[in-house]
């Protein structure tokens, strides 16, 4: 294998790692600032200007606290729980395209660690196994509140994953590919999926907040009933890991929303630029979108009260899943109609598959691939 690629990808991975952790650290500060702003307070302002050194102070404090393990805890699982949480949170950033290709040292460098052809499924897989960090840590700490939290987290995750998956499928049908790079490329300029999928976006966004365990869906750690849920028994940097994982998920989740519905690094008027200028502007546009969604999610957290548990299940199973299925059906029919399925002049004669309906809308390369 080309050593250049290995070096290039390693540098990209290190940058991603640093950016994810840095973003997670500063999101804790942002959350407190947003909360303070919503409640007409000032928020943390002692450490550094505008409290900019607050995350470092918090991190330092967490590092120097006593690291204890409860007597009746399952020692190995208790230690591995926060690690799993953190590991899964950091994993999905590798398939996200952070910007258009840049040209450096006479080479074209993709701002994406790997473009696997089932990228969006990879993101779904990671988000569905991420709950193990909570479940294992909570079960291992041998605390009734933690156990409740684990049970709530897992059932909530399962309930909302279905609607989440169905709304992703509708986006995949529009772009005709499971690769995240293709999904972003199909939304060139202002041709974003939100214009075609407003309902799908709302369903996806609600499910995302539920998957992120954020208020109003933070049943797993609702303070008033379960103390803090899964990290009741945790202290020091192990608890820090759980908090970090939550904010990393928030960062990555906002990135995925911008990719699926708001065009990722695409921005209006991008045809006037090219090369590295386009790449830099694309990355900036992408981060602006991410910041916007992070703010919206925080805004929701500090505005809405928490759901009751049965309301949460009702919303998931009885409202969102039927809605997302209806949305899927309508999208499928419209795609079939616009590609001439009902007027008889189909592009692929011998095809009856949805895979090929997708390919009609998708990139030309894939269509030829299927017609072989």
- Residues contributing to the site for other proteins (CB under 8 A): 77, 116-118, 121-122, 124-125, 128-129, 131-132, 135-136, 139, 147, 150-151, 154-155, 157-158, 161, 178, 351-356, 366, 369-370
The strand pairing partners of 103, in sequence order, are 108
Q: What is the CA radius of gyration of the chain?
A: 22
Least distance to other proteins, CB of residue 96, Å? 16
Least distance to other proteins, CB of residue 38, Å? 34
Q: For other proteins, which is the closer residue by CB, 25 or 131?
A: 131
Residue with tokens 């479940």: 135
DSSP 315: I
Least distance to other proteins, CB of residue 165, Å? 8
CB atoms within 10 A of CB 54: 21
Q: For other proteins, which is the closer residue by CB, 334 or 355?
A: 355
**CA–CA separation, 74 vs 65, rounded Å?**
21
Least distance to other proteins, CB of residue 319, Å? 17
CB atoms within 10 A of CB 318: 10
Q: For other proteins, which is the closer residue by CB, 27 or 126?
A: 126
**CA–CA separation, 144 vs 158, rounded Å?**
21
Q: For other proteins, which is the closer residue by CB, 109 or 121?
A: 121
**CA–CA separation, 50 vs 42, rounded Å?**
9
Contact between 128 and 157 (Cβ < 8 Å)? yes
Q: For other proteins, which is the closer residue by CB, 178 or 294?
A: 178
**CA–CA separation, 71 vs 139, rounded Å?**
14
């Amino acid at each position: 294998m080309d050593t250049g690629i290995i070096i290039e990808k390693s540098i990209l991975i290190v940058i991603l790692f640093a950016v994810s952790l840095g973003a997670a650290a500063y999101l804790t500060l942002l959350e407190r600032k947003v909360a303070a702003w919503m409640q007409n307070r000032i928020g943390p302002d002692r450490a550094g200007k505008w409290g900019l050194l607050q995350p470092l102070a918090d991190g330092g404090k967490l590092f120097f606290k006593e690291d204890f393990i409860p007597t009746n805890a399952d020692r190995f699982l208790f230690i591995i729980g926060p690690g799993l949480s953190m590991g899964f949170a950091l994993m999905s950033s590798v398939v996200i395209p952070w910007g258009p290709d840049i040209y450096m040292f006479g080479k074209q460098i993709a701002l994406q660690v790997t473009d696997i052809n089932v990228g969006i499924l990879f993101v779904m897989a990671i988000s569905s196994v991420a709950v193990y960090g909570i479940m294992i840590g909570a079960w291992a700490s041998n605390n009734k509140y933690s156990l409740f939290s684990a049970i709530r987290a897992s059932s909530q995750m399962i309930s909302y994953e279905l609607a989440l998956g169905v709304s992703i499928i509708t986006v995949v049908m529009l772009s005709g590919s499971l690769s995240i790079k293709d999904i972003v490329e199909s939304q060139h300029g202002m041709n974003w999926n939100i214009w075609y999928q407003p309902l799908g976006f709302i369903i996806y966004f609600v499910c995302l907040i539920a998957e992120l365990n954020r208020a109003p869906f933070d049943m797993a750690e609702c303070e008033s009933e379960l103390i803090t849920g899964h990290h009741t028994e945790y202290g020091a940097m192990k608890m820090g890991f759980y908090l970090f994982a939550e904010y990393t998920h928030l960062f990555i989740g906002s990135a995925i929303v911008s990719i699926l519905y708001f065009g990722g690094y695409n921005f209006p008027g991008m045809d006037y630029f090219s090369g590295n200028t386009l790449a830099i502007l694309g990355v900036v546009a992408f981060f602006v979108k991410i910041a916007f969604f992070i703010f919206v999610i925080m805004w929701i957290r500090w505005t809405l009260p928490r759901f009751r548990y049965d309301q949460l299940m009702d919303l998931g199973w009885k409202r969102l899943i039927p809605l997302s299925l209806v949305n899927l059906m309508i999208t499928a029919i419209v795609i079939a109609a616009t590609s001439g399925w009902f007027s008889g002049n189909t592009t692929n004669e011998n095809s009856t598959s949805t895979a090929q309906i997708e390919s009609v809308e998708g990139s030309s390369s894939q269509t030829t691939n299927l017609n072989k």
